[in-house]
Structure 1
Amino acid sequence: MTAEQPVLTYVFAVRRSGGPEAETALGGLPGVGPPAPVRTLAAGPLTAVVQDVPATDYAEEALRQRLSDRAELERCARAHHEVITAAMAAAPTVPLPLATLYRGDERAREALCERADSLLTALDRITGRVEWGVKVYALTGKTDTPVASPDAAAATGRAYLEQLRSRQRGREERQDAALRSAERVDTVARSLAVAARRLRPHGSEVTGPHRTHVLNAAYLVDGGRERQLRAALASLRRDETAVEIELSGPWAPYSFADGGTAP
């Protein structure tokens, strides 16, 4: 970018001012797009991790078009996450949402100072903790037995209808069992967390046709409890045979940057 090109300030994350410098950890990161380097910006009691981006590329309509492209959205999300991960390696860091943009450093500084109390509270909440994700899936579509045609079942069709009803009851029973399993998984994970948040389950376009997403949750866990969480989920996988259980992490505490439900 040349000096004449208007730029916006892209804010990745914030941390407390006065802590270890993050510049070394951030050095060389491309961020969401070179040539401007990722850098820090003082904002009262906070230090923001930021990057200058071309205003023409990140104006509202241009940004909407960019993020509607799946490949570009994934690229931006990965770059955003990479910067936050590097910042967290230097000091406790509150990640901000993808494409948090301001019209220059001064406006970014003003906005972050206005939010300083809530951001400092968030920093207190996440320090020494990480986010873990738990997903629970009900298995569907693999255990249904084929239904005979009406002629093959019975001339009256009663047997055919009973087979349909039986298959529907089986689906409902499996779904109910999966939901009960999901609640047990959530109860165990919450017992090991300091905060939890239920997220929107994914649809079949993400999970595939043979799984139904019945629990999508994030848990804020003290750094020393990883082994307990992994062991608890491993035990649940053995006991809860009606579902698949996935554990992912540790992640930057994206789900708890603005709060979270206590267990």
Structure 2
Amino acid sequence: MSGLRYVYAVCHPLEAPLQVQLTGVAGAPAKPLHHHGLVAVVSEVPERDFSEEPLRAHLEDLDWLAATARAHQGVVDALTVVTTPLPLRLATVFRDDSGVRSMIEAREDHFRATLDRLEGRVEWGVKVYVEPEQSLSAAQSAAQPAPKAASGREYLRQRRQQTRASEDMWRKAETFAARLHEELAAFAEDSRLHAPQNPALSGVEGRNVLNASYLVTRHDSEEFVELVDRVKDDVPGVRVELTGPWAAYSFTGETPEEPGAPGVPGEPEERGGREALREPGKPGEPGERA
């Protein structure tokens, strides 16, 4: 390798070699770099794009950023199929192999403890949305069309009824989301509540009333999925989305500010979106450069 070293994740030694066709950021193949009984999965990236100044400029280019985030996630996803990876933040780049080895040595105890704790576990994401008001209004109107208001007073009465119906919908959705989270958190080994998505940034329709991640063993994952499926249609006008299984981004025990710390990207369907790419510690934040 003659370019810079882009690091995707750290993991225990792999029992099988990486896929020959597995390519990552900048179209470069992902390769294992062994050190002290751990493996950093890396690829070579051009200095013209990933040295400090060019990278800073690229991070303002959402198209470039989205493509890079997808390539980064593609490697992590491939690793998750065969092992338990500890993903690093997007754009964690080092000058050469020795820089990667130094990073492993500096964080070796943490890497080992975290990998042991997460071994055999994956992350599932669950989001609950209240459908857009226009969709609910259209469905309600189709089921029971409101009579045309005969006067201004009647119009105001109908508007108050619509407002009460909307408020009732929010209450039902929030109650359902709280009950669902309590049930899923009790089943999972660990859970995290994230800030609700901003629909203007994520591009996802509906108001997000639950955005949570759950740490579940691979063995129990099928039952976890069934648990979500059983309740997802309980409340009309409320949409439940399940994503995963993913690497356990939300359970690395890292703070986003730590250089080279494992990142906590948004859910994969968000990666490449403005919200996920701009939040601290998620794709879009530069990682360590050494």
How would you bin the TM-score normalised by the shorter chain? Answer: 0.7 to 0.9
> Structure 2: which amino acid aligns with 1:44?
H
* Higher RCO (CA 8 Å, separation ≥ 6 residues): 2
CA shift in 2, pair 1:107/1:138, >3 Å: same
**What does 1:106-255 correspond to in 2, within 5 Å?**
106-141=98-133, 142-144=135-137, 153-154=150-151, 157-205=152-200, 206-209=202-205, 211-255=206-250
Distance 1:20 1:139 in 2: 43
SS in structure 2 at match of 1:134: strand
- Aligned-residue sequence identity (percent) comes to 37
Contact 2:18–2:31 (8 Å) recurs in 1: no
SS in structure 2 at match of 1:52: strand
SS in structure 1 at match of 2:22: coil
Provide the alpha-carbon RMSD of the alignment. 2.8
Structure 1: state its 5+ residue gaps. Answer: none
The answer to whether 1:91 aligns with 2:83 is yes
Distance 2:203 2:80 in 1: 30
SS in structure 1 at match of 2:232: helix
Under a length normalisation based on structure 2, what TM-score does the superposition of the two structures give?
Answer: 0.74
Contact 1:147–1:164 (8 Å) recurs in 2: no
- How far apart are 1:238 and its partner, in Å? 3.6
Distance 2:254 2:11 in 1: 16
CA shift in 2, pair 1:70/1:245, >3 Å: same
Distance 1:218 1:49 in 2: 25
- How far apart are 1:121 and its partner, in Å? 2.0
SS in structure 2 at match of 1:25: coil
Contact 2:233–2:239 (8 Å) recurs in 1: no
CA deviation profile, 1:9-33 (whole Å, cap 9, x unmatched): 21101113xx3455x2143322212
Structure possessing the higher radius of gyration over alpha carbons: 1
- How far apart are 1:247 and its partner, in Å? 1.2
CA shift in 2, pair 1:230/1:29, >3 Å: closer
CA shift in 2, pair 1:240/1:232, >3 Å: farther
- How far apart are 1:250 and its partner, in Å? 1.3
Q: 1:28 aligns with which of 12, 16, 21?
A: 21
> Structure 2: which amino acid aligns with 1:110?
S
Correspondence for 2:8: 12
The answer to whether 1:104 aligns with 2:115 is no
SS in structure 1 at match of 2:42: strand
CA deviation profile, 1:72-114 (whole Å, cap 9, x unmatched): 3332222212222333444332111221112322222222322
Contact 1:26–1:39 (8 Å) recurs in 2: no
- How far apart are 1:201 and its partner, in Å? 2.3
> Structure 1: which amino acid aligns with 2:45?
V
- How far apart are 1:179 and its partner, in Å? 0.9
64-73 or 238-247, larger mean C-alpha shift: 64-73
Q: 2:47 aligns with which of 45, 55, 59?
A: 55
- How far apart are 1:45 and its partner, in Å? 4.2
CA deviation profile, 1:216-261 (whole Å, cap 9, x unmatched): 111111111122112211221242334111112211222223369x
Correspondence for 2:277: none
Under a length normalisation based on structure 1, what TM-score does the superposition of the two structures give?
Answer: 0.81
> Structure 2: which amino acid aligns with 1:30?
T
Structure 2: state its 5+ residue gaps. Answer: 256-290
How many equivalent residue pairs? 247
CA shift in 2, pair 1:163/1:236, >3 Å: same
Distance 2:168 2:249 in 1: 35
